[in-house]
Structure 1
Amino acid sequence: MQQERRNHPRFSVDGIKAHLTIKRPANDTLEFEGDVIDLSYTGIKIHLDSPLPEESEGRVSIILILPNSQIPVAIRGEIKHLCQGTHYGVQCDDTLPKDAYDELLFECVKSGQKA
């Protein structure tokens, strides 16, 4: 059994939609829709509706829609893992304050999501 290396626990969630934007050279932009599978203070696992082209991996902007309030939360990060097919692991930048993540996690848990 592989030992857990994460510094922060992941929370499994349902009902959080994600809009992922990848900016590429020459002002080319790719956009994808999907669902958040789990999240922590430092990362997000996302299932996208369609796979990313190979050359699109890297820096991303993600807009998450909170399940109850429908409030959008913007997160920036970098794609670090292709987990399986259309599941991607994104390492988040420190651009979102910790209290904003706390609110996001609180709403997920409060709305009956798995923690």
Structure 2
Amino acid sequence: MLQQLLRSANGSCRMGDIASSLLASRSRITHQVRRLEEQGLVKRGSMPQDRRAVLAALTEQGRTLGEAAMRTYSECVREHYLMRLTRPQQAAIAESFRRVGEGAEEALHDGDGRGGE
């Protein structure tokens, strides 16, 4: 969830959109956001143009922690997985992940869960 908020334009997302993209229930996201909020990493708010929508937004502390976590994660993946592969193997995996990502994106928009080719 922190990664999604980090990648958003202004560090915030509608909680319903977070639930959809993570394939999680809204109640699950509400629970997780509440826990992150208690830790001072996220704050909740409303959208000026749609008062019904609830936003989750990173705090400065959340942004700092999220960025550090993503750096650590990237370094671990590189060290423990990618460095064991040849460049062509790395390229093949990158292409596979790209295709899986496209399929997941299609499934989210289509709503059928199938996506892909």
TM-score norm. by structure 2 comes to: 0.28
Higher relative contact order (CA 8 A, sep 6+): 1
- Relative to total residues, which structure has the larger helix share, 1 or 2? 2
Query: Rg larger in 1 or in 2?
Result: 2
- Relative to total residues, which structure has the larger strand share, 1 or 2? 1
